[in-house]
């Protein structure tokens, strides 16, 4: 775990480039630092591996102040992919990757094996590429080598400063996917800097949005999308962002929380009264079961009551029993498909315990979609 505690950085004549920054980065997570040019992202990264020292405050790794580590030792255990690739042009690809294992005096055989292993990992064959020079590789290939080199010493922490920003969108996406695949196996602690909000939301377990050397919001991509802390965050991520990433919307985001239950033996007259009092158009018919689990027997929408002449009929006589429930974390697209395929108007939403926590209705879906739709001038 990396903990940045109240860190301030002043350069000569420039104060508070980093301004009382607090950030905790858990093991095995990818944390993305994002923010406008000059907001202090690179400066923050460089303080983590002590390329520069904070003016005040402290950085701890696993509870130990990094000042207590030998600088060289610290850097060997922190891989660093710098802004603008940073391969040595006069060394071959093989030599570039072998640099750090050599520095730490691994023997030649072990180093060679490691270089081969890493090149395989990043999908560039040793036989074809090891003897070439960086200038003979495409930008994307060079970036892959940069990543391989950062992994060479098998560090626990990797700092990646805009590693993919110079690449075309297709190569960039490929490398993002490769990084995520690698991370699935390696579980490194990664601090990743980018300008690009799509990249941040795709790569990051958590995203720290910075402004003027401080963190404005630190949250999961989902949290930031759904609950932007203020206008700055909202403008930065773009107001129509949720519309572009609808898979972030879950059943619990589109449900009506005002869900009203009724017993199976209650009459239609009871039901009409309850609907009026509780201002709902649907009742969930439940069996009395020990909390928290709810056993749902059926649904009664207001349309089912209309035109029924016998007011003594019970809920169990008129309820719709071929309904489907959904889990609160099911994504909106899945829920909508299910509703359409089964011609459902109402979908009860359950939590992990099987408790009823809400109900999805046409209106609740419509409300959310209207909320997240980009505002267009053209109508």
Residues that bind Mg ion (CB under 5 A): 42
163 binds, among ligand ATP, Mg ion, none (CB under 5 to 8 A by kind): none
Contact letters for ligand ATP, residues 148-187 (x by CB under 6 A): ----------------------------------------
Whether a cis peptide bond, with omega within 30° of 0, leads into 197 is no
Q: Contact with ligand ATP (CB under 6 A): which of 15, 22, 38, 355?
A: 38
- Coil, helix or strand for 148? helix
Length reported for the chain: 379
Check residue 42 for interaction with ligand ATP (CB under 6 A): yes
Task: Give the separation between CA 338 and CA 340, rounded to whole angstroms.
Answer: 5
Which does residue 114 bind out of ligand ATP, Mg ion, none, counting CB within 5 to 8 angstroms by kind? none
Please, which residue, 98 or 209, has the CB nearer to ligand ATP?
209
Interaction partner, residue 39 (ligand ATP, Mg ion, none; CB < 5-8 Å by kind):
ligand ATP
Q: Choose between 35 and 101: whose C-beta lies nearer to ligand ATP.
A: 35
Closest CB to ligand ATP among residues 17, 359: 17
- Beta carbons of 255 and 355 less than 8 angstroms apart: no
Q: Does 15 sit near ligand ATP (CB under 6 A)?
A: no
Please choose which of Mg ion, ligand ATP, none residue 54 contacts, taking the beta carbon within 5 to 8 angstroms, the exact cut-off set by kind.
none
Which one of ligand ATP, Mg ion, none interacts with residue 37, CB within 5 to 8 A by kind? ligand ATP
**Least Å distance between CB 11 and ligand ATP?**
3
11 in contact with ligand ATP (CB under 6 A):
yes
Measured distance CA(102)–CA(343) in Å, rounded: 65
Rounded Cα distance, 136 and 142, in Å: 9
For the record, the structure tokens of 41 come out as 């992202």
Strands (E), the chain: 2-11, 14-25, 30-34, 56-61, 64-65, 78-81, 157-161, 189-194, 206-211, 214-219, 260-263, 282-287, 295-301, 326-327, 347-350, 356-360
40 is an interface residue for ligand ATP by CB under 6 A: yes
SS3 122: coil
Nearest 10 degrees: CA dihedral of 280, 284, 289, 294? -90
Least distance (Å) between residue 45 CB and Mg ion: 8
User: Residue 34 or 284: which CB sits closer to ligand ATP?
Assistant: 34
Give whichever of 42 and 111 is closer to Mg ion, judged by the CB atom. Answer: 42
Among 2, 17, 59, 248, binds ligand ATP (CB under 6 A): 17
Number of shown-chain residues binding ligand ATP (CB under 6 A): 11
List 219's β-bridge partners, or say none. 207
Q: State the binding partner of 38 from Mg ion, ligand ATP, none, CB within 5 to 8 A by kind.
A: ligand ATP
The distance of closest approach from Cβ of residue 39 to Mg ion in the complex, given in angstroms and rounded to an integer, is 9
On whether the CB atoms of residues 158 and 78 are closer than 8 A, the answer is: yes
What does each C-alpha distance from 20 to 48, 214, 375 come to in angstroms?
15, 7, 37
Tell me the window of 36-44, 101-109, 228-236, 285-293 that interacts with ligand ATP (CB under 6 A).
36-44
Q: According to the binding rule CB under 6 A, does residue 232 interact with ligand ATP?
A: no
Judged by CB under 6 A, does residue 280 bind ligand ATP? no
- Contact flag: residue 50 with ligand ATP (CB under 6 A): no
Name the maximum alpha-carbon separation found in the chain.
91
Helix, strand, or coil (residue 32): strand
Q: Of 34-42, 108-116, 126-134, 296-304, which segment contacts ligand ATP by CB under 6 A?
A: 34-42
Q: In Å, how far are 161, 270, 283 from 121, measured between CA atoms?
A: 21, 67, 56
| Other C-beta atoms lying within 10 Å of the C-beta of residue 363 | 10
- Site residues, ligand ATP (CB under 6 A): 11, 14, 17, 37-43, 195
């Amino acid at each position: 775990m990396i903990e940045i505690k109240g860190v301030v950085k002043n350069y000569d004549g420039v104060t508070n480039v980093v301004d009382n920054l607090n950030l905790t980065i858990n093991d095995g997570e990818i944390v993305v630092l994002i923010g406008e040019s000059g907001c202090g992202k690179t400066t923050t990264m460089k303080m983590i591996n002590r390329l520069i020292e904070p003016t005040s405050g402290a950085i701890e790794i696993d509870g130990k102040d990094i000042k207590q580590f030998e600088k060289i030792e610290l850097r060997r255990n922190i891989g660093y992919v710098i802004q603008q690739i940073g391969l040595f042009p006069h060394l071959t690809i093989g030599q570039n990757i072998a640099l750090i294992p050599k520095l730490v005096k691994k023997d030649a055989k072990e180093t060679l094996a490691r270089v081969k292993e890493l090149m395989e990992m990043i999908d560039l064959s040793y036989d074809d590429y090891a003897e070439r020079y960086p200038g003979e590789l495409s930008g994307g290939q060079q970036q892959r080598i940069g990543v391989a080199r950062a992994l060479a010493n098998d560090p626990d922490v990797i700092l990646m400063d805009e590693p993919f920003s110079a690449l075309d969108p297709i190569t960039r996406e490929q490398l993002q996917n490769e990084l995520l695949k690698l991370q699935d196996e390696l579980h490194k602690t990664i601090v990743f800097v980018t300008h690009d909000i799509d990249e941040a939301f795709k790569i990051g377990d958590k995203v720290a949005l910075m402004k003027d050397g401080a963190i404005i919001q630190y949250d999961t991509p989902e949290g930031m999308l759904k609950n932007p802390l203020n206008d700055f965050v909202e403008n930065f991520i773009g107001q129509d962002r949720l519309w572009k990433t609808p898979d972030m919307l879950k059943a619990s985001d589109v449900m009506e929380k005002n869900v009203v239950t009724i017993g199976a033996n209650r009459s239609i007259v009871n039901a009409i009264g309850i609907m009026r009092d509780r201002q709902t158009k649907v009742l969930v018919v439940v069996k009395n079961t020990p909390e928290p689990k709810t056993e749902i027997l059926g649904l009664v929408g207001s349309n089912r009551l209309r035109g029924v002449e016998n007011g003594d009929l019970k809920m169990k006589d008129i309820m719709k029993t071929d309904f489907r429930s959904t889990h609160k974390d099911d994504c909106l697209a899945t829920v909508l498909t299910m509703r359409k395929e089964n011609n459902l108007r109402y979908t009860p939403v359950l939590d992990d315990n099987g408790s009823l926590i809400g109900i999805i209705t046409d209106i609740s879906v419509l409300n959310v979609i209207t909320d997240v739709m980009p505002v267009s001038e053209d109508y």
